[in-house]
Amino acid sequence: MSKRTPLIVANWKMNKTTVEAVLLMQDILNRLNPGEMDSHEVVVCPPFIDLKQVATVIEYDRSEVRLGAQDVHWRPDGAYTGAISVRMLAAVGCRFCIVGHSERRQMFREGDQEVAWKLEALLDGGIAPILCVGEPAEVRERGRRAAEDFVLQQVKAALSTVDTALAAKLAVAYEPIWSIGTGAAATPEDAQRMAAAIRDCLRQLFGDVAERLRILYGGSLNVGNVAMFAPQPDLDGGLIGGASLDAQAFSQMVQLWRDQ
């Protein structure tokens, strides 16, 4: 049995106007059993523009669900048109923030350096980063070893300058790019193998602290497959995209993870 509190994260991506986001959040809260929050941590990451209203819904419900953001800029303030800082996220109530999602790496050309800067800014500002790593299809086709090399390189690039004292807040999400939004999830065994390799790498970087860090799987998680990932010893939760936009599916997935 894992000593780590499972972490289930909803990534709404670029979906939902503010009104729609409020309705979805209310629907999720109505379906989540408050008792579920004792043993699990649930985080919802809406678009920036919806954060304030979603925070109000969570507060009004007195829910333990946490608010997260999907991205952040590493500078504290200044002339960075369109960007949002750690301080702004903290002020609106964010406790978590996704960093280095493959959609940001690929579509917005974010490199390892930007990911490392964002991560450091988040840790300094007291927001828990959820670092996303994962290999593209062409790397996976070269075999498990190639996929592992690729992913561990991303982990090291993001974390090698992180202070061990701050590392305890961190979570890492393994999201193979070929599995995101495709309906083709990794097998639970492959996800576990990669999570174990990531934990080994975290041990090298942070020693015993690695045992406390949560490693998530993400990529086409749904009601039908989530229960197979939950019992894997190095998997401590899930990062859920498409299925998190459906309140019934998402709340059911939280419960399925808990029941394992």
Contact between 239 and ligand PGA per CB under 6 A: yes
Confirm whether 175 is a catalytic residue: yes
| C-alpha 134, offset from chain centre | 12
Minimum distance from residue 90 beta carbon to ligand PGA (Å): 22
Contact between 70 and ligand PGA per CB under 6 A: no
Contact between 221 and ligand PGA per CB under 6 A: yes
Confirm whether 40 is a catalytic residue: no
* Phi–psi pair at 143, nearest 5 degrees: 115, 170
Q: Determine how many CB atoms are found less than 10 A away from the CB of residue 192.
A: 20
Contact between 241 and ligand PGA per CB under 6 A: yes
Select the residue interacting with ligand PGA from 6, 11, 29, 192 (CB under 6 A). 11
Contact between 171 and ligand PGA per CB under 6 A: no
**Residue 45 β-bridge partners:** 11
Minimum distance from residue 170 beta carbon to ligand PGA (Å): 17
CA-derived radius of gyration, the chain: 17
Which candidate, 213, 156, 150, places its Cα nearest to that of 177? 150
Q: Which residue is nearest to ligand PGA (CB)?
A: 241
**Residues touching ligand PGA, count (CB under 6 A):** 13
Q: Strand runs (DSSP E) across the chain, as ranges?
A: 7-11, 41-45, 66-69, 94-99, 128-133, 171-174, 214-218, 237-240
Residues recognised as catalytic: 101, 175
Binding-site ranges for ligand PGA (CB under 6 A): 11, 175, 180-181, 218-221, 239-243
